[in-house]
A and B are shown apart, each in its own frame.
Chain A
Amino acid sequence: MFMFEKAVTGSRRYWIWIGCLLAVILIGFLFYLRQLHYGLGVTGMSRDVSWGLYIAQFTFFVGVAASAVMVVLPYYLHNYKAFSKITILGEFLAVSSVAMCMLFIFVDMGQPMRVMNVLLHPRPNSPMFWDMLSLSGYLVLNVVISVVMLRAERKTVAPPGWIKPVILLSIPWAVSIHTVTAFLYSGLPDRSFWLTAIMAPRFLASAFAAGPALLILLTMIMRKLTWFDAGKDAIQKLAVIVTYAMIINAFFILMEVFTTLYSKIPEDVAHMKFLYVGLDGNTELVPWMWTSVLLALVSLVLLIVPRYRRNEKILAVACVVVFLSLWIDKGIGLIIGGFIPSPLESVTSYIPTLNEIAIVAGVWAIGMLMITVFYKITLQVREGLAA
């Protein structure tokens, strides 16, 4: 197997962490069995809000998968050498987040044992069919690239020549996963909150902020816990990428706000009202959405002012804030807000159940476990080289 033996040696701290993750995964799995037994009725979803936290988390983690392209592109297309040590970390983060996306889709299915019907009876004009192709393709590309590159690194040989075109292919492919995921929502005739051509660009902008922000945090954690140092230059360059992406993302959101509020088309305004002031007495998401706005503003100040951005402690805070803000915006507001009010103008409250949250936590833990193991292997390989 792929160097997995390198992941089973570690300090006490490493094993405690792995143990905790496995415990969360086990709990999530037990709750998933419960959901499988009773049906999706154990979640907070309903006839009107027919997608909830699962699909929202899926949407958010498609964005995190952009971590790879934002290191691969500068390194391979612009020969930006400072990223040489972290391209593989970006790719492994992409692999883990795409795996999480697939799990979130899977746990959302009413009849998961029929999942192969998507391949047996495909309908090519369903965006879901293309999303499946796009996501699994991106997963395969990143798995192949990271495994081949790490193998070459371990043997201290140059990577095989054929991998270069594969890497180059992964760049436009990354754009496709955000675009096709946006098309899942933006092509539906009567979901006015989603019916916007700026959905795909918005997904790209928020992805290029959230993915690299998480990558910065992960490299900082690694520097703290291990001997590995991504280097100040690499982190600063990533920070600049996050800054631009976050500014563009905020700009796109303001575009939406203007078009909606100035045109005053009632069904468009209704969704904004629900999210930011409450509708028909329902203010469930209002505190969340304003937290997201506030965090976005704070992150913009911390990122744009060079003095703050260059201070790594402040940069770490900024990255956490970016991640949280976008998680609320995409991982909660975008999907739930699209369903409320319904096309029949009813406002149905949606509150995730404990069962649902446990399953979400389980999938998160699987993602964290994958990241831990992949990064551990990478470090072991590099440690072996240094020794």
Chain B
Amino acid sequence: MSISRRTFLTVTGLAALAALARKTPLVRIFAGQAPSKAPPKPSTRWAMVIDPEKCLQEGGCTKCIAGCDKIHNIPDFKDPKHAVKWIWKEPYQDAFPEQADRFTTERFKDKPFILFCNHCDDPPCVRVCPTKATWKRDDGVVMMDWHRCIGCRYCMAACPYGSRSFNWLDPRPHIKELDPDFPTRTKGVVEKCNLCEERLAQNELPKCVEACDENAIVFGNLDDPDSEVQRLLRSRFSIRRKPELGTHPEIYYLV
């Protein structure tokens, strides 16, 4: 059988394209790491409950932030315009602008609240991402693929909580102490709190929960009636950031 030059090129070209198309979905978020083994149980819905009273006990405490920054290689940019934040603090009235009525304000005004990605049930960031570089797992974790992100920053415009940061410059020279167990990011991609999915896969608690000596952050499965998160939310009044937007944030604050 004779193959013309043209047919040969067409066939090899198509084969190469097919190979590419098959390979791409295999690109993992954490290249070189074993794929996350946590089976997405249908009955798992991770959530966190913050107790601001406990959190505020030790003024100026940043143990959760420092712990998170360290294990996730989060760069420390001096210019606040370029800041990368996974956990950060905002005064109560900025974190909950709609709920700042006179009396809660008296109690909490200017008090720093710790903020995270809310790992929403219906996350606007996921909806708008044009490349599926961010998606929601069955257990509720809103994930990011830093190798797929094209840096369009549509998710930053869509997030109502300011939970997403962009690497305006190369983050690597700004990492204080490199942790080889976690990937660093490149300039031009968006990142945010991943609820320590790499630790969940190893059956460990998120770092911020572990780092807090006051037990101000409780982590657990919201679908489990015996979990501490569900017990707390049943017994105490809690608020969430901007619930009226229908995003169903899964970080609760006890008041």
Q: Give the chain B neighbours of A121 by CB distance below 8 A.
A: 24, 131-133, 148
What's the count of A-B pairs with C-beta under 8 Å?
146
Nearest A residue (CB) for B135: A123
Q: Are B131 and A110 in contact (CB under 8 A)?
A: no
A114 in contact with B165 (CB, 8 Å): no
Chain B residue numbers with a CB within 8 Å of A46 are 80-82, 168
How close is A336's CB to chain B, nearest CB, in angstroms? 12
Number of A positions contacting B (CB below 8 A):
47
13 contacts between A and B (CB under 8 A): A39-B188, A41-B168, A41-B169, A47-B85, A110-B190, A117-B148, A120-B24, A121-B132, A126-B154, A185-B157, A188-B158, A189-B160, A345-B93
Contact A127 B189, beta carbon cutoff 8 Å? no
Complex Cα gap A45–B166 (Å): 10
Task: Determine whether A191 belongs to the interface, using a CB cutoff of 8 Å to chain B.
Answer: yes
Query: Given that A109-B188, A121-B131 are contacting pairs, would A188 and B151 also be in contact in the complex, using a CB cutoff of 8 Å?
Result: no
| B-side contacts of A111, CB under 8 Å | 149-151, 186, 188-189
A126-137 CB mask vs B (1 if < 8 Å, else 0) is: 111100100000
Q: Considering residues A45, A110, A118, A191, which has the most beta carbons from chain B within 10 angstroms of its beta carbon?
A: A110
* Residues of chain A with a CB closer than 8 A to B82's CB: 41, 46-47
B130 and A122: CB pair below 8 A?
yes
Question: Which bucket holds chain B's interface residue count?
Answer: 35 or more
Query: Would A40 and B152 count as touching, CB distance under 8 A?
Result: no
* Interface members, chain B 119-160 (any A CB < 8 Å): 124, 127-133, 148-154, 156-160
Q: Which residues of A contact B149 (CB under 8 A)?
A: 110-111, 114
Which of B21, B160, B188 is most buried by chain A, counting CB atoms within 10 A of its CB?
Answer: B188
Q: Does B97 contact A (CB under 8 A)?
A: yes
Q: Is the CB of A110 within 8 A of B133?
A: no
- Fill in one digit per residue for A312-344: 1 if any B CB lies within 8 Å of its CB, else 0: 000000000000000000000000001100111
Contact A128/B97 with A39-B169, A111-B150, A111-B151 known, Cβ cut-off 8 Å: no
Contact between B83 and A38 (Cβ–Cβ < 8 Å)? no
Known contacts A110-B188, A117-B133: A39-B157 contact under CB 8 Å: no
Asked whether B160 lies within 8 Å of A118 as measured between CB atoms, the reply is no
Provide the A171-199 mask, 1 if CB < 8 A to any CB of B, else 0.
Answer: 00000000000001101111100000000
Q: Which residues of A contact B150 (CB under 8 A)?
A: 109-112, 114-115, 117-118
A interface vs B, CB < 8 Å? 38-41, 45-48, 50-51, 105, 108-112, 114-115, 117-118, 120-123, 125-129, 132, 184-185, 187-191, 266-267, 338-339, 342-346, 348
The 6 residue pairs across chains A and B that have the minimum distance between CB atoms: A110-B151, A110-B188, A190-B160, A46-B81, A41-B168, A39-B187
Contact of B156 among A50, A189, A344 (CB under 8 A): A50
Pick from B94, B153, B156: contact of A345, CB below 8 A: B94
B160 touches A109 (CB 8 A): no
Question: Would A189 and B188 count as touching, CB distance under 8 A?
Answer: no
